[in-house]
Structure 1
Amino acid sequence: MRFSIRAFIISLAVTFSSLSMADWSLQQPSSIHFLTSKNTHTTEIHHFKKFNASVNASGIAKLTIDLASVDTRIGIRDERMQEHLFETSRFSQASFEAEIPADVFAKVNAGQQTQFELKGKISLHGEQAQAGCQVIISPNKDKTITVTSITPMLIAAEDFKLVAGINKLKEIAGLKSITYTVPLNFSLSFKAD
């Protein structure tokens, strides 16, 4: 009996170790949405269609967004954002890099839903800035995990030299105002490789 219990504990430890040291790759469904507000009272929801993310065995999470895949549901607006705001001919991608603490993965591997503050570095439009938000990591029955923002990540145009681009969009569209801070939300699913 002792041998059986000991063997069971060892097999659990090996399984836990392999899970916590795995690389995780992005799965669908996953989504990234952001909000823009114009003329004081009009807020719209947009998203990116193409992005990739991964978490390596050391807990380093990386997200890369194809800025040309911005989707506002209005084709001409997408083109204007690509040209005048993101300048995708020069800056085709945005990225975010952060570290997920080992104790968070330990809880997730034990089947616990875990909340923590995700902090990292955004690279956008040739600039870098720190950003963060509260997220929850949920283990799923299909052996995937889902990382979901529960507070928005706030992206300030001033941090990435995007103010001139926003002003250009405002001028082209004949708007009174467009806000300079954008809240971004995401839900990303991962599976161990």
Structure 2
Amino acid sequence: MIKRTLLALTACIAALPAAADWSIDSEHSSLNFLTTKNAQVTEVHSFDALSGVLSNDGELTVKVPLSSVNTNIDIRNTRMQEMLFETTTYPDATFTASIPDDLLTMSAGDSKTASVSGEISLHGVTAPATFNVVVNQLSDHTITVATTAPTVINAATFNLDGGVKALQTVAKLSSITLAVPVSFSISLVN
């Protein structure tokens, strides 16, 4: 009788949703940014790696290894790592935010649009940033979050303007804009 009761209790506990933190599923997530050179040539770039955790109390931390920058040109990747991001000194960018309660209590099938404000830490500087997103609770164990419009990040805010100038010089370009539109689509699982 005790054994059956313990088995039934174990089955009930296993059926409850896990109270675990949410983690970014890097295989189903992307982070992109645009650059414009010579005043009219715009290119899409990405980062091949990102990780992060959303705790059950709404604290979000996203980490982007800057050495994972992908511009589809190897020499440009290397130049951005060394001359722009200075990855040996500043290996990662992070975004931290407190997520509103109404986004944490969604049910499977729910979708909401929201503005998420937090802080980006990049190249030794921390500055505020806001992303307009759509959040979809696909199931009890999967959430997707995607930007509804790019957020423009200014390289000068993070003391990257010197690196941009160095890239411009080495590539013999007439200009590279400092305003960089950023967008993402991430999947969170628990």
User: How would you bin the TM-score normalised by the shorter chain?
Assistant: 0.7 to 0.9
Partner of 1:116: 114
User: In terms of mean alpha carbon deviation, does 149-158 or 79-88 score higher?
Assistant: 149-158
Q: What residue in structure 2 maps to residue 155 of structure 1?
A: 153
| SS in structure 1 at match of 2:90 | coil
Check the 8 A contact 2:95/2:119 in 1, yes or no: yes
Where does residue 186 of structure 1 map in the other structure? 184
Distance 2:112 2:31 in 1: 20
1:24-66 deviation digits (Å, cap 9, x = unpaired): 0111311001000001110000000111011001111110000
Two-structure CA RMSD over aligned residues (Å): 1.7
Letter in 1 for 2:177: T
Where do 4+ consecutive residues of structure 1 move more than 3 Å? Answer: none
TM-score when normalising by structure 1: 0.86
* In 2, Cα distance between equivalents of 1:122 and 1:32: 14
Summarize deviations over 1:142-172 as a string: whole Å, max 9, x none.
8311010111122111111000000000000
* CA distance in 2: counterparts of 1:141 and 1:109, whole angstroms: 8
Query: Match of 2:138?
Result: 140
Structure 1 unaligned residues grouped into runs of 5+: 1-10
Which residue identity is paired with 2:109?
G
Letter in 2 for 1:85: L
Separation (CA, whole Å) in 1 of partners of 2:137 and 2:65 = 27
Secondary structure of residue in 2 paired with 1:84: helix
Counterpart amino acid of residue 113 in structure 2: Q
Q: What SS does the corresponding residue of 2:144 show, helix, strand or coil?
A: strand
Q: Quote the residue 2:69 is aligned against.
A: 70
